[in-house]
Amino acid sequence: MDSVISWLLEGDPWVVYRTRLNLLHKGEDNPLVVTARGEMLVHPFVRQLVGELQTWTGGVINSHKSAGTLLHKLAFAADIGLRADDPGMPEVVERVLEHRDPLGPVQVLGNVSPGYGGSGLDTWGWALCDAPTILFALARMGLVNDNRVRAGVEHLISLARPNGWPCAVSKELGSWRGPGRKGDPCPYATLVMLKLLAEFTDLQDSPAVHDGAEALLDAWQRRRDFHPYIFYMGTDFCKLKAPLVWYDLLHVACVLTRFPWLRNDARLVEMLEIIRSKADPEGRYTPESVWTAWKGWEFAQKKIPSRLVTLLAREALMKN
């Protein structure tokens, strides 16, 4: 066992849990995995997170980039290993699924001003920058075969284009769309759609996934002069940070390495080499940017190596 793995196993229980599962390839029934998961469920930070998620309908989403919104906290809960039947989570799942578009996607409470094509009222609806993340979280939590989740996934897949996924919203949100050419792909929508579809073994090799992955890799290759919907892949994009919320290098790498047929793509290899180069002499990674909404968590600082950032980097790199 190398020194980085040993260091990770001294961390928070969610890091220990994922390290044993994903880096040491132990099964869910392994006694040490079971112990780590049990410690995670009773950890004060996780219990507080579940409590926050139980207030699911309590706020309007004003910015999808806001790392403290409940949709991103739901995704983080799924990422660290919470399941739909864990203590407190059945209530969360039912609250999340309470508002669904007849077409399938889960709705959130938003407000689009008349100046941007909306009504100016708090409205239940969905956008391709929130619906995939919510469905990803539900699927990761164990609801892959839930008909409600699957219906949402099927509708979102239908929105794919040969160059990835566009900026799209439900009819309740009017004519709003982000700043960019209508024919361009939205890099963030494409990223979170790929993240969602990676959860479904029967969809991982679908044409929509291949097209979406190519869209992100093409944007990387053309990053100096191609910035669809004003998403850049420059210095800030390459800064390592956690949790995986927005459009950045670590998030993109963690998603694209989920698809085995991409792992030798020169463009993805280049991304991974940039990540590899950021390790300190001991193989650990220090956050280069932080989400202030997560203050208090070990990854929300830029002074010392973070176990979660290191774990995410190692997970991506080991697949290459």
C-alpha span between 279 and 234 (Å, rounded): 19
Amino acid at 26: K
pLDDT of residue 17: 98
Q: Report d(CA 167, CA 184) in Å as an integer.
A: 9
Q: What is the pLDDT of residues 58-103, one digit of tens each?
A: 677 878 888 999 999 999 999 999 999 999 999 999 999 999 999 9
Q: Is the peptide bond before 243 cis (omega within 30 degrees of 0)?
A: yes
Q: Report pLDDT digits (tens) over 27-50.
A: 999 999 999 999 999 999 999 999
pLDDT over 90 percentage in the chain: 88
Distance from CA of residue 50 to its chain's centroid?
Answer: 18
* Distance between CA atoms of residues 90 and 231, nearest Å: 36
**What is the pTM (predicted TM-score) of this model?**
0.96
For 241, counting Cβ atoms within 10 Å of its Cβ (0-12 exposed, 13-18 middle, 19+ buried), the class is: buried
Please report the pLDDT score of residue 110 as a whole number. 84
pLDDT at 116 over 80: no
**Residues making up the chain, counted from first to last:** 320
Domains and CATH numbers, the chain: 60-68+97-318 (1.50.10)
Contacts of residue 235, Cβ cutoff 8 Å, sequence gap at least 6: none
Q: Is the pLDDT of residue 115 over 80?
A: no
Q: Alpha-carbon distance 112 to 126, whole Å? A: 12
* Phi, psi (rounded to 5 degrees) for 161: -125, 170
pLDDT digits (tens, 9 = 90+) for 189-201: 999 999 999 999 9
Decide if pLDDT at 21 tops 90.
yes
Contact 127, 169 (CB under 8 A): yes
Q: Which residue has the tokens 């790199």?
A: 317
Instruction: Place 1 in a pLDDT band, splitting at 50, 70 and 90.
Output: low
Position 114 scores a pLDDT of: 81
Confidence of residue 121 (pLDDT cuts 50, 70, 90): confident
Q: Which pair of tokens denotes residue 108?
A: 């959130």
Instruction: Please state, in angstroms and rounded to a whole number, the distance separating the CA atoms of residues 179 and 304.
Output: 37
